[in-house]
C-alpha cells in the first residue's frame, strides 16, 4: 500500500520530479565541440561554493561494481577519454563501451549533436584536447558531458535525444517477473533506489527493502533463494517512481516531513497542499520548527529564506480552518526510524481527511491551554525537533500519541507512563503528562467515567487535596504507579494517613474538614470493595478520574 501510494504521488507531481530514466547528479566538466565533431573548448562548472559543479538531471546510470557499463552521453574520464594511468587496458575497454553506446544513440536518433559526439570520441587521438590547460584536471574528472558550440543546452538535452533517452533508459538486465506494486510483468529492479533524508541513517542513503547475502549465512530468506531487490519484487518503473517520490518528500526544504527525536514523520495528501500545511501547523503549533523559541525568546533554529517557515497562528484560527476543510480526500502518514544503514517503518496509515480533521479538531480543543497558546505537545515536539536532550524517547510513546490524535482512540496507561521516563534536562514532561491524560479521558466511554477505577482516582485526588491543605510540603500521598497498579492496598494506607490530615484541617477550619470528610465517605461508599488489579484500560480510567477530580477541586478552591 505504501509503495503504491508513493508511485501514485509521482504520477501526480511529474512536473517537480525527474522523468523516468533520469536522475539528479552533479556535473562539473563539459567538452564543447562543433557540429563536425571537432574539439573547441573545456568548460568547468565548479564554483567556490560548490566544487562538484551543478546539480542537473542526467540520464540514469546503472549500478555497477567492476562490470563495464557506460552511461549515456556522460560518464567519468575512464569511459569518456579512455585514460587511466593505473590500468590502461581496462580504460581502453571502458572507452570502447562508451563509444559503442554513443554510436547507438546517434544511429537511433539521427540527431546532429549525438552524431558529433560519436565522431569526436571515435577520433579522440586526432583531437588536440590534450593541449588544453584544463586537460590535466579533466583526466581525473568524475562527470564529463558534451555540448555543441552553437547550443545552450547539453547534447543529451536536445529534444530528439532527450525523447529517445526517456523512452530507452539503461536497464540493469535483471530477471523478468511480476511487480508487486502495479501487478504488471517486466524487468525486476535488482538494486532498489537509495532513500536520503531520514534521521539516524547514513547520509549516503539507505534502501527500504534489502536482504543480506546468502553466502554470508546471514539471510532470513536464504532458503527461498531471494536476494537484494528480488525479496520485494518491483519493476524498474515503479522502483524509480517510489524512490523519487520519497526522496522528494524528504528533501531538505520539504514541508511534508518533521523530525521528532530519532523519528522522521512524512505525510502527504495527493489531492491538495492546504491540508498538508494545516496538519504541519497543528503538530508544530502553527509555526515552523525553525522559528520555535525557547523560554528566553531565542530561536532554536534561525529562519532561512530558502526554507519554508510561516508566522504562528492562534489555535482558534487553526480550528476555523479545520471546520472549513470538508473536502473528501485522504492523507498518507508514515513514521520512519533510521539507524546507520538500516531503516524501519514504525507507523503507516492512510486515513480520510474527514476522520483526520475530526481527530485533529478534538485534539486542539482538548489540549489548548487557556492561559497561553503554547500546548504541551508543541513544546515537547519543538524540543525534540530542535535536537535537544532526546534521552529516553520510546517508540511506543510517539506512535501511541500520534495514533490517538489521528484516530481518536485512547492509549493504555503503560504507554503514557513511559513518557515520565523520558529525561529532559530543560523540559518538564509533567504538563504534557497531565494534558495527555485529560485528552485520553475525553475519549473514554461514559460508563468508564463512573466505574470503580475512575472513582478510585477521584478518591485519591480528595486524599491528595487533604494532604496539601493540611501540610503543603508532605507528598506521602500521591497518584503514582504503585497506587495505579494495586489501588486496594495503597488506598487503605492512604485512608489511615488521611485521619491525621483531617485533624490538622479541623483545627484551622472545622467546616472545611466536615465537607472533605463527607466527600470522602460518599466516594468510598460508591466504590464499595476496592479493586486489587487493574488492566491497562482501567488504569487509564483511574488516572483520568484523578486528573478530572483535581481540576474540579482546584476550581472549587479558587486556585
Q: Is 15 domain-assigned?
A: no
pTM of this structure: 0.68
Do 420 and 297 reside in the same domain of the chain?
A: yes
Q: Which domain holds residue 493?
A: 446-557
What does the alpha-carbon distance between residue 257 and residue 333 come to, in Å, rounded to a whole number?
10
- Domain count for the chain, please give it: 4
83: which DSSP letter?
A: -
Do 28 and 75 reside in the same domain of the chain?
A: yes
Nearest to 98 by CA among 49, 42, 59, 137: 59
What does the alpha-carbon distance between residue 376 and residue 550 come to, in Å, rounded to a whole number?
18
* pLDDT for residue 311: 44
Q: Is 3 domain-assigned?
A: no
Do 216 and 293 reside in the same domain of the chain?
A: no
State the cell numbers at 189: 529492479
What does the alpha-carbon distance between residue 541 and residue 549 come to, in Å, rounded to a whole number?
12
Q: Is 210 domain-assigned?
A: yes
Do 48 and 117 reside in the same domain of the chain?
A: yes
Do 305 and 418 reside in the same domain of the chain?
A: yes
Q: Is 6 domain-assigned?
A: no
* pLDDT for residue 292: 47
Do 150 and 26 reside in the same domain of the chain?
A: yes
Q: Show the DSSP H helices in 253-373 as ranges.
A: 274-284, 315-324, 353-367
Angle, alpha carbons 442-447-448 (nearest 5°):
60
What does the alpha-carbon distance between residue 402 and residue 450 come to, in Å, rounded to a whole number?
27
Q: Is 469 domain-assigned?
A: yes
Angle, alpha carbons 533-535-537 (nearest 5°):
140
Residue with cell 506512535: 399
What does the alpha-carbon distance between residue 481 and residue 254 come to, in Å, rounded to a whole number?
41
74: which DSSP letter?
A: -
Do 343 and 410 reside in the same domain of the chain?
A: yes
Beta-strand pair 29-33/144-148: parallel
* pLDDT for residue 104: 92
Q: Which long-range contacts (CB under 8 A, 24 or more apart) does 175-180 make?
A: 175/230, 177/230, 177/233, 178/233, 179/233, 179/234, 179/235, 179/238, 180/3, 180/232, 180/233, 180/234
State the cell numbers at 403: 495514533
Q: Is 156 domain-assigned?
A: yes
Do 151 and 284 reside in the same domain of the chain?
A: no
**Contact by Cβ (8 Å): 72, 155:** no
Please name the residues in contact with 225: beta carbons below 8 A apart, sequence gap of 6 or more. 214
Do 144 and 128 reside in the same domain of the chain?
A: yes
* pLDDT for residue 16: 75
What does the alpha-carbon distance between residue 223 and residue 225 come to, in Å, rounded to a whole number?
6
Do 392 and 528 reside in the same domain of the chain?
A: no
Q: Is 11 domain-assigned?
A: no
Domain boundary among 443, 473, 492: 443
Other C-beta atoms lying within 10 Å of the C-beta of residue 61: 16
Domain boundary among 137, 167, 197: 167
Distance between the two ends of the chain, CA-based, in angstroms?
52
Please name the residues in contact with 436: beta carbons below 8 A apart, sequence gap of 6 or more. 376, 377, 401, 416, 419
* pLDDT for residue 374: 44
The burial of 59, by beta-carbon neighbours within 10 Å (0-12 exposed, 13-18 middle, 19 or more buried), is given as: buried
Please name the residues in contact with 154: beta carbons below 8 A apart, sequence gap of 6 or more. 30, 73, 74, 145, 146, 147
Other C-beta atoms lying within 10 Å of the C-beta of residue 415: 22
Q: Is 302 domain-assigned?
A: yes
* pLDDT for residue 214: 47
* pLDDT for residue 105: 92
Do 385 and 287 reside in the same domain of the chain?
A: yes
HSE (CB half, 13 Å, CA atoms) of 121?
31
**pLDDT below 70 — which residues of the chain?**
65, 125-126, 172-174, 209-231, 272, 284-327, 367-396, 412-435, 444-449, 473, 554-559
Q: What does the DSSP assignment read for 84-142?
A: -SS-HHHHHHHHHHHHHHHHHHHHHH--HHHHHHHHHHHTGGGS-GGGSTTHHHHTT-S
pLDDT tens-digit map of 494-512: 888 888 888 888 888 888 8
Do 475 and 505 reside in the same domain of the chain?
A: yes
Nearest to 187 by CA among 75, 20, 65, 24: 20
pLDDT tens-digit map of 415-441: 666 666 555 544 455 556 666 777 777
Domain boundary among 208, 223, 249: 249
Amino acid at each position: 500500500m505504501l509503495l503504491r501510494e508513493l508511485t501514485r504521488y509521482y504520477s501526480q507531481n511529474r512536473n517537480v520530479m525527474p522523468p523516468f530514466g533520469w536522475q539528479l547528479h552533479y556535473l562539473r566538466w563539459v567538452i564543447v565541440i562543433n557540429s563536425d565533431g571537432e574539439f573547441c573548448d573545456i568548460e568547468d562548472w565548479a564554483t567556490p561554493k560548490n566544487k562538484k559543479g551543478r546539480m542537473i538531471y542526467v540520464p540514469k546510470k546503472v549500478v555497477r561494481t567492476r562490470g563495464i557499463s557506460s552511461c549515456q552521453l556522460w560518464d567519468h574520464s575512464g569511459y569518456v577519454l579512455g585514460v587511466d594511468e593505473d590500468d590502461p587496458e581496462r580504460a581502453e575497454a571502458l572507452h570502447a563501451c562508451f563509444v559503442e553506446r554513443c554510436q547507438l544513440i546517434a544511429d537511433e536518433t539521427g540527431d546532429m549533436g549525438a552524431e558529433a559526439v560519436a565522431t569526436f570520441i571515435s577520433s579522440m587521438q586526432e583531437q588536440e584536447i590534450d593541449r588544453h590547460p584544463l586537460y590535466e584536471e579533466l583526466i581525473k574528472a568524475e562527470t564529463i558531458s558534451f555540448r555543441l558550440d552553437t547550443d545552450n543546452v547539453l547534447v543529451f538535452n536536445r529534444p530528439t535525444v532527450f525523447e529517445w533517452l526517456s523512452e530507452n533508459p539503461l536497464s540493469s538486465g535483471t530477471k523478468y517477473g511480476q511487480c508487486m506494486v502495479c501487478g504488471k510483468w517486466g524487468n525486476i529492479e535488482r538494486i532498489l533506489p537509495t532513500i536520503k533524508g531520514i534521521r539516524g541513517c547514513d547520509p549516503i542513503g539507505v534502501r527500504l527493502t534489502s536482504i543480506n547475502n546468502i553466502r554470508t549465512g546471514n539471510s532470513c530468506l536464504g532458503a527461498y533463494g531471494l536476494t537484494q531487490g528480488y525479496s520485494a519484487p518491483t519493476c524498474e518503473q515503479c522502483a524509480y517512481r517510489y524512490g523519487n517520490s520519497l526522496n522528494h518528500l524528504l528533501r531538505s526544504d520539504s514541508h511534508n516531513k518533521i523530525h521528532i527525536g530519532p523519528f522522521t514523520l512524512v505525510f502527504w495528501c495527493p489531492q491538495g497542499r492546504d491540508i498538508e500545511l494545516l496538519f504541519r501547523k497543528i503538530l508544530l503549533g502553527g509555526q515552523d520548527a525553525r522559528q520555535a523559541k525557547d523560554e528566553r525568546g531565542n530561536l532554536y533554529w534561525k529562519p532561512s529564506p530558502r526554507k519554508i517557515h510561516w508566522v504562528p497562528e492562534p489555535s482558534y484560527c487553526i480550528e476555523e480552518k479545520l471546520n472549513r476543510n470538508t473536502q473528501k480526500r485522504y492523507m498518507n502518514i508514515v513514521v520512519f526510524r533510521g539507524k546507520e544503514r538500516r531503516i524501519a517503518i514504525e507507523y503507516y496509515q492512510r486515513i480520510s481527511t474527514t476522520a483526520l480533521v475530526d481527530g485533529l479538531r478534538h485534539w486542539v480543543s482538548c489540549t489548548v491551554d487557556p492561559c497561553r497558546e503554547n500546548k504541551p505537545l508543541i513544546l515537547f515536539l519543538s524540543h525534540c525537533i530542535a535536537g535537544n536532550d532526546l534521552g529516553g524517547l520510546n517508540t511506543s510513546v510517539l506512535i501511541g500519541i500520534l495514533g490517538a490524535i489521528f484516530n481518536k482512540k485512547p492509549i493504555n496507561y503503560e504507554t503514557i507512563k513511559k513518557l515520565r521516563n523520558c529525561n529532559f534536562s530543560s523540559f518538564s514532561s509533567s504538563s504534557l503528562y497531565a494534558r495527555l491524560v485529560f485528552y485520553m479521558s475525553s475519549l473514554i466511554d461514559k460508563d468508564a467515567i463512573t466505574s470503580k477505577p475512575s472513582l478510585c482516582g477521584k478518591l485519591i485526588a480528595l486524599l491528595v487535596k487533604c494532604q496539601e491543605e493540611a501540610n503543603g510540603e508532605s507528598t506521602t500521598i500521591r497518584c503514582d504507579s504503585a497506587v495505579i497498579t494495586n489501588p486496594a492496598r495503597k488506598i487503605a494506607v492512604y485512608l489511615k494517613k488521611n485521619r491525621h490530615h483531617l485533624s490538622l484541617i479541623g483545627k484551622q477550619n472545622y467546616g472545611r474538614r466536615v465537607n472533605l470528610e463527607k466527600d470522602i465517605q460518599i466516594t468510598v461508599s460508591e466504590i464499595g470493595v476496592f479493586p486489587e488489579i487493574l488492566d491497562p484500560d482501567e488504569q487509564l480510567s483511574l488516572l483520568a478520574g484523578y486528573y478530572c477530580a483535581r481540576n474540579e477541586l482546584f476550581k472549587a478552591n479558587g486556585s
